[in-house]
Structure 1
Amino acid sequence: MTDARPLCSGHLRSGLRALAVLGLGLMLAGCNGLGGRTAPPVVVAPPPTVQVQPPPRVDVPAMRDPARFYTPAHMAGAQPIRVALLLPFNSPRDNVRTLSNAIYNAAQLALFEFDNRQIMLIPKATGGTSGGAQRAAQEALGAGADLILGPLFAEEVTAVAPLAAGARVPVVAFSSDSSVAGNGVYLLSFPLDQDIERIVEFATLQGLQRFGALYPQGTYGDRARSAFEQAVAARAGLVVAATSYPADSDGMYEPARRIAASYGEGSFQALFLPEGGAQLKTISPLLPYYDLDPRQVKFLGTGLWDDPSLALEPPLHGAWFPAPPPEGHAQFLTRYKRAYGSTTPPRIASLGYDAASLAVALATRPAGERFSAEALTDPDGFAGVDGIFRFMPDGRTERGLAVMEIRAGGAVVVDPAPTSFRPPLF
């Protein structure tokens, strides 16, 4: 609903502290992170198993016994930098297991391409539950994790946060729920509110001031409604018509009819549809069916629209949505497929790549500074395969997003993403 480093990236620090040791440009792989070599297949370890019985509660400081930190035989005598990766590899849901393995693969790919032999990735399975995430965090901290990447879901992050904070180990999680950020938790994700801010800003700059909205029922729809109303009001716009719809396709007809009927004589200029996947493909054709012409009303979406299959949906042709700059992600996909086969990973698998790359970038710093709050919240940010991003002091992520337009041949950039967080010089 989460992109820097050595990532494909390089630290976006102004010349002074620009992670020059890595000397990598924005497009990691595109910047030839492999030095022109063909990447050999990456060997991925099988997903870790989870203990059936929960371990006894252990005081976190007591777990941090350096004598018990995990060091594989081949790193004996070295000083490894231990990076835990907490994901629901063993979730009962097929799609969650697929996503978890793809994020893990992407992280492995980053470590291979940047070839930092000090980094040791410690994967732990969370099961997708708060209890499982807590046990995984205990194990990772007991093994000596210097940084935790993940977990994926908000409830998992909430369970992990106090354990990590007690051990003074930062967490770079993949949840898009900003309420779980802060106190040592940084969210490397695609925040919904920033998606909405970006698309509303662009739409208003094009002269659109009156908006309609169709929200999915549920927590996500409520968050979208709140963020959209705030973004529109901040730009002196008006939400003149809005309704919500249930998840079942039969229940979408009446809300679609109502929003189309409210259009009347041009009462709104744009319609916001914070939906994706099959649900979007179901509801979008209902709008022209009820005489809401997409050639007269501009359809607006969120990052959920970053889906090549939407080019096959004629009602969405000409619609706008926010997304990371596409070039870096396309290069990432090429390298991922070369390493793991032809299957295209889930869209947010790239978060694993950028997270691992961030760890590699910061690992070049002295031990006491590498994963500090000051390092993680560098105001110049980082550049990854999904564009520039930076962590705010409250743990939220700020991203540089492009605006895309859906066309029959695929989405195209109509407003480029920024390449720096520094104000432009005039």
Structure 2
Amino acid sequence: MSTLWAKDFSTKSRRCSVDLNRSGWVMRLSLAIILTIWLFFSGGAAAAAPSPGVGLLQEGIFAFEQGQYEEALSLFRGYVIRNPQAKDLTQAYYFLAKIFLAGDELPSARLYFERIPADERTAPVRFIEAQLLLGEGASEQALASLMQLSPEELPGDDRIDWYLATAQALFQTGRELQALAILNSGVQLHGAASSRTLLKLAHQIGAGLSGEVLAEGAFMLQGGPVGLDLELYLARAEFASGNSDDALRRTERIIASRQPFLYRQEAALLYDRLRGRPWIQRAIGVLLPESGRLAAFGELLKRGVELARELHDQESEPVKLIYRDTGGDPGLAEEAVRKLANEDRVMAILGPISGAAAESAAHQAEVEGVPMLSLSQRDGIPEIGPQVFRVSLTDRNQAAELARYAIDELGMDSFGVLYPETAFGHEMLALFSQEVLKRNGLVVDSESYPNDATDFRSQIRLLMGEDPNQPVDFDDLPEEEQLEALFEPEFPPVCFDALLIPDYADRVALIAPQLPFYGMEKVPLLGINGWNQPELVRNAGRAVEGAIFVDGFFRHSSYPFVRDFVDLYFATYGEEPTILEAQGFDAANILFSLLDQAWIADRDSLREALSRYRDYPGVTGATSFNAVGDAEKQLYILQVHRGSVQQLN
């Protein structure tokens, strides 16, 4: 074991199983919860996935819903063969027709459709008939059938297909503008992200229009996603005829639109030709609070960003940084993204740091199609959309790394948590419990304390399974209990291997000395990045000796590139950097390193490069982005050793 601790991390003791009334109850409750979860995911899943005894039809439907079409096809066919007189054959015929229709095997799809009795042909069945007619070339009949249906009558997956089929039927019967109007309605109803097939069909139809018909369609659908596409065709026609001024005005209007648009990059390329310079500038927009209560944090982040720019521009083509003040305000952040994307024409946006501003900015970045590298810790920011990434240290990062190190490296498997009664405290308890459970460990006990507490006797005694009102001093016990205590064997003071305290250094300095005072001795302590402050060791002293905690930055790291950053920062600003400056430095350098690659010439290629970015060697740890755009960082594992904080990894 690589730490100072030499205790045996066994929890098999009489105190744990018998004497710790409260902790034992918590442990039994936790195990019951785990058993319930296991039963839900094992037995529950088994109930959801049909067993052979339930019938081939149900198994086929389950396979179809899981996207296992070959297996579903085999099961449905088997059901039809074995149950030729069954009352629910219609269901099997329906799914067989859908499978063959999706595979463009129209005769087989028609065969099973015809087997469905006329009085059982519901809206979804009649939609199959319309698609068959369309595929067989009977466009007028297909259109008549489709117009008798409403998308609301169809299952969710079929609704977009109804717009697609209806537009195809209209187009094939010479009604191009009506087809475009149907596609535009479908996109507006279901959103651009879910309607790419509709937008692509509209693009194909628009390519065949010209003259007055094209102009009429652009006017009729102006402002909508399909209307923008027709505007782009008009701009190209104007440019080809030598009318560059009208083409330029139209192209600028397209690019500045807030409507999601698949072909915005094509409009940007046309703009480049019209203006003789790139639409997208070699620039990054930086959203920071330069005013308001968060201004001090914004200034620290800006220092890190500027230090990265200074180093980069000495050896590479300069990148322009355009700062916008959010003041921590969501409305200002949203407007700043819009202007940076369309007026300043930046390649990417860095920031903001506050949760509300970051969330608002992220939604607008999705609308504008501009990559955004957020510095906010708020949950769910990267999940807003594919344009949004995050590079900052999160609470989940810390919980996951603490659990990994304690379980995988130290061999622990049971934990206590002493946490503040705040939203952050509750979140850290939940996150750490989840991460521990993933590794087959367990949080067996937890206690909370008021945010302004200074006396932690009650919580500590409860964690030890003792009555908090019982006298602590042996001499204060009744004579009979003193006599019993003489013959009682020694047991561990607690029923867990380590205690997590997710709070900041000033509070930890109050808690840690009280642990041994109230009898919780030699219990390893775990902490978060809030522990990484000079006052921790100065005020808590020996009480935190051997404690382990994590952080996203350690200015005394042995890594040469971290020492170089700290020295450069100190030489520039006359003080040592914090994690804020380090995060600003790394975030800016990630974007700079990508902009220097020749193949990254637009926002789409930059977004693609960010999504595949792996192991950037930053001062805040090696950084990669996962499938949703969240940073996966190798955090610093730190330990208090002989009165100073040292790096373990």
- Work out whether the TM-score is over 0.5: yes
- 5 Å-filtered alignment, 1:14-413, equals 59-60=257-258, 80-91=281-292, 93=293, 96-115=294-313, 116-141=316-341, 142-182=343-383, 183=385, 184-205=387-408, 206-250=410-454, 252=456, 254-261=458-465, 265-293=493-521, 296-312=522-538, 313-314=540-541, 315-324=543-552, 326=557, 327=559, 328-341=561-574, 343-365=575-597, 366-368=600-602, 372-378=606-612, 380-413=614-647
The whole-number CA distance in structure 2 between the counterparts of 1:102 and 1:265 is: 44
Distance 1:247 1:59, change over 3 A: farther
CA contact (8 A) 2:280 2:346 kept: no
The whole-number CA distance in structure 2 between the counterparts of 1:132 and 1:288 is: 51
Q: Which one is further off, 98-107 or 203-212? A: 203-212
Task: Report the secondary structure of 1:178's partner residue.
Answer: coil
Shift of residue 373, structure 1, vs aligned partner: 3.0
Structure with max Cα Rg: 2
Compute the TM-score of the two structures, normalised by the length of structure 2.
0.49
The whole-number CA distance in structure 2 between the counterparts of 1:174 and 1:79 is: 23
Percent identity reads 26
Q: Alpha-carbon deviations, 1:216-241, whole Å to 9, x = none?
A: 22221222111111122222222221
The answer for the alignment partner of 1:30 in structure 2 is: none
Aligned AA (1:133): A
Shift of residue 347, structure 1, vs aligned partner: 2.3
Shift of residue 363, structure 1, vs aligned partner: 0.5
Shift of residue 413, structure 1, vs aligned partner: 2.3
Distance 1:289 1:125, change over 3 A: farther
Aligned AA (2:526): L
CA contact (8 A) 1:147 1:371 kept: no
Q: Note the residue ranges of structure 1 that are not aligned, 5 or more in a row.
A: 1-57, 70-75, 417-426
CA contact (8 A) 2:362 2:372 kept: yes
CA contact (8 A) 1:170 1:371 kept: no
The whole-number CA distance in structure 2 between the counterparts of 1:278 and 1:133 is: 33
The whole-number CA distance in structure 1 between the counterparts of 2:287 and 2:337 is: 7
Task: Report the secondary structure of 1:60's partner residue.
Answer: coil
The whole-number CA distance in structure 1 between the counterparts of 2:536 and 2:362 is: 37
Aligned AA (2:589): S
The whole-number CA distance in structure 1 between the counterparts of 2:279 and 2:570 is: 33
Task: Report the secondary structure of 1:411's partner residue.
Answer: strand
Aligned length: 344
Q: Which one is further off, 346-355 or 146-155? A: 346-355
User: Aligned-pair RMSD on alpha carbons?
Assistant: 2.9
The whole-number CA distance in structure 2 between the counterparts of 1:303 and 1:200 is: 14
Q: Which one is further off, 176-185 or 106-115? A: 176-185
The answer for the alignment partner of 2:488 in structure 1 is: none
The structure carrying a bigger strand percent of its residues is: 1
Q: Which one is further off, 401-410 or 368-377? A: 368-377
CA contact (8 A) 1:119 1:360 kept: yes
The whole-number CA distance in structure 1 between the counterparts of 2:498 and 2:594 is: 43
The whole-number CA distance in structure 2 between the counterparts of 1:257 and 1:131 is: 48
Q: Alpha-carbon deviations, 1:34-70, whole Å to 9, x = none?
A: xxxxxxxxxxxxxxxxxxxxxxxx95369x998xx9x
Shift of residue 371, structure 1, vs aligned partner: 5.3
1 or 2 for the larger relative contact order (CA 8 Å, sep ≥6)? 1
The structure carrying a bigger helix percent of its residues is: 2
The whole-number CA distance in structure 2 between the counterparts of 1:166 and 1:80 is: 19
